[in-house]
């Protein structure tokens, strides 16, 4: 598999992960959160930060960065990033159909801020993307483009 092929796999996996996280019913989501927090040493640390919004932000930051890795042409990259924002809005609207979930404008703002941040990281730190590519080229089964 080429590096570009690997980037496509990463993009597909990220979209699938975001879709699953966005559309699982609330009771299953809460069970996963309880299981994870009780298996980690920091289970007793309380925070005032809304971890749901942080999750939205991080998921969409990674999505934007992976989009930027996949599209070299600036016009295609902008269209793909705008599609990422639209995808976030679609996932928020779809949550209205999932038991125990609701649509949230604040979540959509976190999604959009994540897209903007991921794209900004890619643009402001171009060496980071190049280092990732060098790292991926060393993985078994990854060939130069």
Is residue 112 within 8 A of residue 49, CB to CB? The reply is no
Write out the DSSP string of 113-137: HHHHHHHHHHHH-HHHHHHHHHHHH
Is residue 40 within 8 A of residue 92, CB to CB? The reply is no
pTM of the model: 0.82
What tokens does 120 get?
Answer: 């900004």
User: What per-residue confidence (pLDDT) applies to 46?
Assistant: 53
pLDDT over 80 (residue 109):
yes
pLDDT over 70 (residue 42):
no
* Rounded-to-integer distance, Cα 36 and Cα 38, Å: 5
Instruction: Point out which residues pair with 143 in neighbouring strands.
Output: 2
**Confidence at 27, pLDDT banded by 50, 70, 90:** confident
Q: Is 143 helix (H, G, I), strand (E, B) or coil?
A: strand
**Confidence at 136, pLDDT banded by 50, 70, 90:** confident
Is residue 5 within 8 A of residue 137, CB to CB? The reply is no
Domain residue ranges in the chain = 3-43+51-137
CB atoms within 10 A of CB 125: 11
For residue 24, how many C-alpha atoms fall within 13 Å in the half-sphere facing its CB?
Answer: 12
Q: Rg of the Cα trace of the chain? A: 17
User: What per-residue confidence (pLDDT) applies to 45?
Assistant: 52
Element (H, E) at 57: helix 51-70
């Amino acid at each position: 598999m080429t590096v570009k092929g690997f980037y496509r796999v990463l993009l597909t996996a990220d979209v699938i992960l975001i879709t699953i996280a966005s559309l699982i019913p609330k009771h299953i989501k809460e069970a996963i959160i309880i299981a994870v927090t009780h298996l980690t040493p920091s289970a007793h640390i309380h925070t005032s930060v809304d971890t749901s919004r942080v999750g939205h932000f991080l998921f969409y930051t990674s999505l934007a960065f992976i989009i930027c890795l996949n599209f070299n042409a600036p016009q295609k990259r902008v269209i793909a990033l705008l599609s990422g924002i639209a995808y976030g809005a679609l996932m928020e609207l779809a949550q209205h159909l999932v038991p125990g979930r609701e649509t949230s404008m604040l979540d959509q703002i976190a999604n959009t801020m994540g897209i903007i941040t991921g794209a900004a990281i890619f643009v402001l730190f171009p060496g980071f993307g190049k280092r990732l590519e060098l790292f991926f080229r060393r993985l078994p089964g990854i060939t130069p483009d």
